[in-house]
Structure 1
Amino acid sequence: MKFQCSNCGYVLEQASEPLPEKCPSCGQACTWLDVSCYIPDCGGPGEGTMDERLYKKKEEKDIP
């Protein structure tokens, strides 16, 4: 599964929970967003791919 840090956008690939309390990239406590692919358009479950519709780059998040 792939999880994205709500603060810096870092993507963590981890097979199962629990997720770390702090992001290994920015060191901040964050909300981990599940950006794993669950639909056939991006490969479906088990392919280890990311759903680009859910993934947001840091720059895109900062745009009002």
Structure 2
Amino acid sequence: MTVYVDFYIDTKTNEIHQFGCNHIPIEDNIYLGIYRNLEVALIHAKSKGFINTSICNSCNI
């Protein structure tokens, strides 16, 4: 069974966070979409123009 998760991007740090991460800022975030994992979210973020995007270390477990 494939699980899809909501992802957000922090507009100050350009880090991608998955829903439930303690490091998602209350402000300065953009909803990125629903993806099956962080790697797919990263690819989609870069295709949407967030070139210097990285993955949150806490989410990347």
Band of TM-score, shorter chain:
0.3 to 0.5
TM-score by length of 1: 0.41
Normalized per residue, the structure richer in helix is 2
Larger RCO (alpha carbons 8 Å, 6+ apart): 2
Normalized per residue, the structure richer in strand is 2
